[in-house]
Amino acid sequence: MHFTSEQRLDDGVLEREFTLGELGEIPGTLWTPASAAPVPLILMAHNNGLPKREPRLVARARYSAVRGYAVATIDASGCGDRPRTTAEEQARADLRRAMRAGEPVDDIFESMVGPLVEKAVPDWWTTLDALLSLPGIGGPVGYSGWTALGIRLAVNEPRIAAAGLFAGGYVPQAQREEARRVTVPLLFLLQWDDEGNPRQRALDLFDAFGSKEKTLHANLGGHTGTPWFEAEDGNRFFDRHLK
Amino acid sequence: MHFTSEQRLDDGVLEREFTLGELGEIPGTLWTPASAAPVPLILMAHNNGLPKREPRLVARARYSAVRGYAVATIDASGCGDRPRTTAEEQARADLRRAMRAGEPVDDIFESMVGPLVEKAVPDWWTTLDALLSLPGIGGPVGYSGWTALGIRLAVNEPRIAAAGLFAGGYVPQAQREEARRVTVPLLFLLQWDDEGNPRQRALDLFDAFGSKEKTLHANLGGHTGTPWFEAEDGNRFFDRHLK
Q: What is the mean pLDDT of chain A?
A: 92
**Confidence band, pLDDT 50/70/90 cuts, at residue B164:** very high
> Looking at the complex, does the CB of residue B3 fall below 8 Å from at least one CB of chain A?
no
Q: What is the pLDDT of residue A176?
A: 95
Q: Give the span between the Cα atoms of B90 and B117, in whole angstroms.
A: 17
pLDDT band at B211 (very low <50, low <70, confident <90, very high): very high
Average pLDDT over residues B45-50: 72
Asked, for residue B220, whether it belongs to a domain, the answer is yes
Dihedrals φ, ψ of A17, to 5°? -85, 145
Q: Which residues of A touch B240 (CB under 8 A)?
A: 229
Instruction: Compute and round to an integer the Cα radius of gyration of chain A.
Output: 17
Number of domains in chain A: 1
pTM: 0.93
Q: Is residue B142 assigned to a domain?
A: yes
What's the CATH code of the domain at A59?
3.40.50.1820
Interface membership of A216 toward B (CB under 8 Å): yes
pLDDT of residue B13: 96
Q: Among A194, A206, A216, which would you mutate to test the B interface (most chain B Cβ atoms within 10 Å of its Cβ)?
A: A216
Give how far Cα B155 sits from Cα of A103, A196, B146, B149, B150, Å: 40, 33, 15, 10, 9
Digit-coded pLDDT (tens) for A157-177: 999 999 999 988 789 999 999
Q: How far is CA B81 from CA A125, B46, B166, in A?
A: 59, 12, 21
Residue among A203, A207, A217 whose CB faces B215 most closely: A217
**How far away is chain A from the Cα of B236, in angstroms, using its nearest Cα?**
9
**What pLDDT does residue A50 have?**
66
Q: Do A214 and B203 touch (CB under 8 A)?
A: no
Domain membership of residue B99 (yes or no) is: no
| Residue B220 to residue A229, Cβ atoms within 8 A | no
Interval A99-114 mean pLDDT? 89
ipTM of the complex: 0.91
Range of the domain at A225: 2-242
Report yes or no: B192 at the A interface, CB cutoff 8 Å: yes
Instruction: Give the pLDDT confidence score for residue B169 in this predicted structure.
Output: 79
On whether residue B106 sits in a domain, the answer given is no
- B58-95 pLDDT, tens digit per residue, is 999 999 999 999 999 999 988 888 888 898 889 889 98
Please give the full DSSP string across B76-91, using - where no structure is assigned. Answer: -TTSTTS---HHHHHH
Neighbouring-strand partners of residue B4: none
Q: Which residue has the higher pLDDT, A34 or A3?
A: A3
Residues B220, A214: C-beta atoms closer than 8 Å: yes
Residue among B216, B229, B240 whose CB faces A240 most closely: B229
Cβ–Cβ contact A243 with B under 8 A: no
Mean pLDDT score, B198-210: 96
pLDDT at position A59 over 90:
yes
Record: contact A220-B240, CB cut-off 8 A:
no
Least reliable range by pLDDT among A32-36, A231-235, B181-185 = A32-36
Using a CB-CB cut-off of 8 Å, the residues of chain B touching A213 are 220, 227
Nearest CB to B220 within list A212, A219, A240: A212
Q: Is the CB of A218 less than 8 angstroms away from the CB of B215? A: yes
Q: Is residue B101 part of a domain?
A: no
Chain B partners within 8 Å of A218 (Cβ): 206, 215-216, 218
Q: Is pLDDT above 90 for A48?
A: no
Secondary structure of residue A160 in the 3-state scheme: strand
Q: How far is CA B135 from CA A104, B14, B103, B185, in A?
A: 61, 14, 50, 27
